[in-house]
Every structure is written in structure tokens, then in C-alpha cells.
Chains A and B, each alone.
Chain A
Amino acid sequence: MSKVMSMKQAIAKHVNDGDFLFIGGYICRTPFAAIHEIIRQQKKDLTVTRSNAADDFDMMIGAGVVKRFIATFLSLGFYGLGRCYRRSLEQGIPHKIEVEEYTNLSLPMMLMAGSMGMPFIPVKDMAGSDLLNVKSFMGDNKYKIIDSPFDGAKTVLVPALNPDLAIVHVQQADEDGNAQMWGIGGDCQVGANAAKKVIVTCERIVDREVIGKDPSRTIVPDFKVVAVVEEPFCAHPGYTPGFYDFDFNFGNLYKNASSTVEGFQAFLDEWVYGVTGRAKYIEHYIQKMGYGAYRNLQAKFDYGYPVSYAY
């Protein structure tokens, strides 16, 4: 049964106020179009998570849709600190979000545990650091320290996470939601599989037969997926391997805009509220930056030896 719908429908139907969301991406394949739609629909009180957040989460925090953040890191990387994140935590603008801090080892492990139906998982990091001395909304359930029942060693346990919904962007999926990706993975696969349901956004919808030509690439199977959204250029200003490059100039644009409350609001007015969806966003991008800039982002082709599963 086809689960294909528009981004607007998918977000309206499956993102509820107060939900706990995993949103995949690592500059690579971030579903920006979904994030923009969440902001446009002014969802409220979301708890969000993912390892290594960037302008994507910064934008949601600045737009006021986030209440809680299960975090490891938030920075604009090459472009400096996350301006909206700082304003939220330092000045309470638009409100102070609650942050529960983990690391790029412990958080993926918590998602992996969630994906496997495990209650918790031991991790070898965080010990001896102040990450154990700060607890937010998870309270004493942020972690536990036990003596290992096997060898008596001091062991940090962290709880499994099971988000209400995961949103992941992939290169291709079929109409039922079998989703295939390639390139830098971050915590996309464990995050998607930890969630109770998944929205798959993709660059292209392909036939089930095409999925079967390279099934090892599937990261989430159709039975977990509730919506499939075909949304080319979804990850801009991030990138999707094989489709388009990271947009360095747009990184500067966001950095400069988000440096002030007014600039950030103008950015949202122009790029989020000012367009109805990703198709209009692309039109606006081409109008503003020129077709050459858009064209330059398109990926070159560099195919390998085709895989065969025949026997």
C-alpha cells in the first residue's frame, strides 16, 4: 500500500505537539525540508534528538518549536557557535530549552539499544567527567553506575531511547517505505529503527524492483514507515551524496542571519514562512542566488562496479 504523501501532509498527520522526535542527518542527508515544515506548522513542545546537531536544530530552537533536547553537541562547525542555541540558553530567547547532555558514543548507543528493544546499555565514556554531574529532565534516569555483575568493574549504564517518530532523509525509497541510503551515516539507521514510526523523505521514489537490485543498502524496512515523501533537494543547505553538494555560501548566509534575533526572524520569513514547500524554496533559491549557483551544487557522477546479487 502506497504511503506516499506530501511533506505538508506527513508532518500534519504524524508530528504531534509534545512528541519526541529523532531527526537524522550529519550535514549529510539532513531532512531540512521536514524541519522547515515543522516550523511552518508551528508545532510545539517537541523533544528532539540526534548526535551532532547543527544549523538544523539551531533553527528549530530559534523558531521556538523545541522544549527539550537530548543532545551531544550543537555548533555551526566551520561557521562557529549556534547562535539560536546560545540565545536560548544564555538569554532565554525565545525560551530556555531543557538540555540533557550525552556524547557521540553514548547517544548512538542509547538509540541502538532502543532499536533492539533493550532497556539500557553499558557505555565506557562519560566516567569522570562533569557530564555525570548535570542532570535535566531525565533526572536520575539520565544514567546509573553499577558494579558489573560479571567482573565487578564500575560501569555506566544509559537508558534506551524510543522516539515517537523518526524523520530520515535517504537517496531512494519505494512507495511502501523501504529506504536506501549511502554515504556518511551518523546515527541515522539506529535512530530510525529506535523510533515507533518513521517518516522517510527521499530524493526519488523507485520501484520495489529497484530496491531489490541492491537490498543491502536498505536501512529501514517498510513495516516501520508511515509516510514516504519524495522531496528532491530536501537536505539543502546540507548535501546528499550522488545528488548535490554542501552549500558553503548558504552556511555563511545562515550564520550572518542568525547572529541577531531580527536577522533570524527575517531568515525564517524569507526561507521558511515565505515559501509553501521545497519546490517553492528551490524557485526562490534560483531566483535569489542564480541558476548557476543551483547548477553548481548538482553532483557529478562517479559510478563504481555495479553490484550483482545473482547466483
Chain B
Amino acid sequence: MSEHAAEYCKPELMACCGAREIKDHNLVLVGTGFPTMSANIARYTHAPHARLMQESGVYDAQPKRPALSVGDPCLNPGAAMIGGLVEIMGMFLQAGWVDIGFLSGSQVDKFGNINTTVIGDYAQPKSRLPGSGGANPIGSLAKKILIIALHDTRRLIERVDFITTPGYIDGPGARERWGLPADTGPEVIITNKAVMRFDKSTGEAYLESYHPDTSVEEVVRLTPWKLNVADDVHETEPPRVEEIRALREILDPNRMIRLYEGRGYV
């Protein structure tokens, strides 16, 4: 039994939840923020042979500070390989090498579909968002997708306004019908309240664990679809001492991760 950190912020807990999904030797396609923190926590604890890559073209970067974008200058010196999008998204992701992909979005639904394109009508948008970028191919082709989301009834939604990135689309069998590779798709939604895991037989996310300061009731209330609850639902394991040590002593000594608290991850 590991010892747990006495004090931590919610984004740190979420980063640890992500890290625990990563196995040793996994290839992880990351963006910035949580994904990088999670993948690196894993590397410094239970998965020393996990390797990171960024879609912009970088494999196994050795940044001296947290990268603020996937094109960040700090990703260049020390990397094992630098190519471009064709190498990472084509040769590695499309060719089936990537084990883990992280995604987030302005809307996430119960099937793990993600919207980063538009709020409201596509032709007359209420709010125009950035678009797919790498999200759609990552969600289509990485073996395991970890979704990071804010837990409220605006971000989590019964049905997204626009499927930028397919989860289980409209239920079981849909990915297969569309020809997406077997054994791919969303694994969990990690929010600031809970970890929701996907039931592959229904394609829906169910409540696996609730974070220490909340409850099954609160999570169910904040989830806009009828949330199934695991028989063995339990409190999320708090950050372990070694996880927090990797985060604060090596990866993020200035605790830039606290920026996420300002974005509502509390």
C-alpha cells in the first residue's frame, strides 16, 4: 500500500489519474498540460519505458520546462527524433503504433464523442472553436483514449453539437461499421469530480470512482445523462507520495499546473 500525499490540488489528482492509465513501454501522443504531466508522472513512477511524442513532429523530447504548445521551442533540443506531421500522425499514429492519446473538448458526451469545432449551428455558429487539429485522428486511431473534461452540465452533454472526434459515436458497433481500427476508442473520462470508464458493450461512460471531496450523488447530479454507477464504485485514490514528488520536484517545480484551477478544475 502506497502512502498518499497530505496535500494536493485537483489538477494534480487528475494528472495522477491519467498517469495510472499508462503502462510501461506505452507510446503516448500528448498535447500540453495534463497529458504531458500524466505521461511524465508515469515515466517517473511505474512506467519508466513509456515514451512521449507530439504531433508537430517530436519523439522523446527532453524539455527543461513544461511545454506551452506542441510546437514549443523547448521540445527541440534533446529529442530522439524530429520530423513533422507525416511522421507522427502518419507513420506512427495511423500505422497503429500509438497506445495512448489524450483529448479534451468544449463538449463531451456519454459515448465519448468530442466537440472542438462549434457551439450551436455549424453554418451560423454561436461560438466558433478551433477545429479538429490532431484530435480526430488521435481519437480515431490511438488504442486507448483518455479524455480530460470539466465536470459540469455544459461541458458534459447528452449529445455534442458537432462530433469533431468520434468516441463510440451512437453506440456499440458504430466504430466498426465506420471502419475504425478494432480495439480503439475512449477508455476513461477524467474530470475534476470523478473517473468515468467506458463500458465497451454499451459504448457509454459509467462512474468508476468519485474524487475525495465529492460523492456518487454529486457526480450523478452534475452529469447530464443517466449515469450508470459501477457496483464497486469507490473513492478515487489520492495522489501517492511518489507521484506528487515526480510532479513537484522534477516536472513542474513552479506548479504551473495550478493554472488549471483558474480554468475551473477545482
Point out residues on A near B: beta carbons under 8 Å: 26-28, 51-52, 71-75, 77-78, 81-82, 85-86, 89-90, 101-106, 108-109, 112, 123-131, 134, 153-155, 182-190, 239, 241, 245-246, 248, 302
Contact B73 A28 (CB under 8 A): yes
Residues of A within 8 A of B180 (CB): 124, 127-128
Q: Which of A90, A109, A128 contacts B125 (CB 8 A)?
A: A90
Point out residues on B near A: beta carbons under 8 Å: 32, 55-58, 68-73, 75-77, 82-87, 89-90, 93-94, 117, 122, 125-137, 140-141, 162-166, 169, 174-175, 178-181
Residues of B within 8 A of A302 (CB): 77
Contact B117 A130 (CB under 8 A): yes
**Known A28-B71, A184-B58, A245-B73: A108·B132 in contact at CB below 8 Å:** no
Q: Which of B57, B73, B135, B164 contacts A185 (CB 8 A)?
A: B57
Residues of A within 8 A of B82 (CB): 182-185
23 residue pairs A–B, Cβ–Cβ below 8 Å: A27-B71, A27-B72, A28-B56, A28-B76, A52-B56, A74-B130, A89-B128, A101-B117, A103-B132, A105-B93, A105-B134, A106-B137, A126-B136, A127-B178, A127-B179, A128-B163, A128-B174, A129-B140, A184-B71, A184-B82, A190-B84, A239-B73, A245-B73
Contact B134 A103 (CB under 8 A): yes
Residues of B within 8 A of A124 (CB): 94, 137, 140-141, 179-181
Residues of A within 8 A of B69 (CB): 27, 77-78
**Known A78-B68, A103-B132, A129-B163: A185·B84 in contact at CB below 8 Å:** yes
Q: Which of B32, B58, B122, B133 contacts A104 (CB 8 A)?
A: B133
Residues of B within 8 A of A185 (CB): 56-57, 82-85, 87
Min distance, Cβ A277 to any Cβ of chain B, angstroms: 25
- Which of A101, A190, A239, A248 has the most B CB atoms < 10 Å from its CB? A101
Bound complex: CA A10 to CA B14 (Å): 50
Decide if the interface of chain B is mainly helix, strand, loop or mixed: loop
Contact B84 A188 (CB under 8 A): yes
Known: A105-B89, A129-B165; 5 extra A-B contacts, CB below 8 A, are: A104-B85, A154-B179, A185-B57, A185-B82, A241-B77
Residues of B within 8 A of A75 (CB): 130, 133
Contact B131 A187 (CB under 8 A): no
**Known A184-B82, A190-B86: A128·B169 in contact at CB below 8 Å:** yes
Bound complex: CA A129 to CA B94 (Å): 17
Contact B132 A72 (CB under 8 A): yes
- Residue on A nearest B166 in the bound complex, by CB: A128
Min distance, Cβ B222 to any Cβ of chain A, angstroms: 25
Q: Which of A72, A101, A123 contacts B94 (CB 8 A)?
A: A123
Contact B86 A112 (CB under 8 A): yes
Q: Which of B72, B85, B126, B140 contacts A125 (CB 8 A)?
A: B140
Contact B84 A105 (CB under 8 A): no
Min distance, Cβ B145 to any Cβ of chain A, angstroms: 13
Residues of B within 8 A of A183 (CB): 76, 82
Bound complex: CA A125 to CA B5 (Å): 41
Residues of B within 8 A of A81 (CB): 128-130
Contact A104 B164 (CB under 8 A): no
Min distance, Cβ B171 to any Cβ of chain A, angstroms: 12
Residues of B within 8 A of A27 (CB): 69, 71-72
Contact B163 A73 (CB under 8 A): no
Bound complex: CA A26 to CA B73 (Å): 10
Residues of A within 8 A of B56 (CB): 26, 28, 52, 184-186
- Residue on A nearest B116 in the bound complex, by CB: A73
Bound complex: CA A74 to CA B131 (Å): 7
Q: Which of A73, A127, A188, A241 contacts B76 (CB 8 A)?
A: A241
Contact A73 B178 (CB under 8 A): no
Residues of A within 8 A of B57 (CB): 26, 184-186
For the complex of A and B, 7 pairs with smallest distance between CB atoms: A185-B84, A73-B133, A27-B71, A105-B137, A128-B178, A75-B130, A125-B137
- Residue on B nearest A190 in the bound complex, by CB: B86
Min distance, Cβ A189 to any Cβ of chain B, angstroms: 6
Residues of B within 8 A of A112 (CB): 86, 90
**Known A104-B89, A106-B137, A246-B73: A130·B162 in contact at CB below 8 Å:** yes
Residues of B within 8 A of A155 (CB): 179
Min distance, Cβ B203 to any Cβ of chain A, angstroms: 12
Residues of A within 8 A of B70 (CB): 26
Residues of B within 8 A of A106 (CB): 137
Residues of A within 8 A of B136 (CB): 103, 105, 125-126, 129, 131
Contact B140 A126 (CB under 8 A): yes
Bound complex: CA A183 to CA B180 (Å): 32
Contact A241 B73 (CB under 8 A): yes
Bound complex: CA A73 to CA B178 (Å): 23
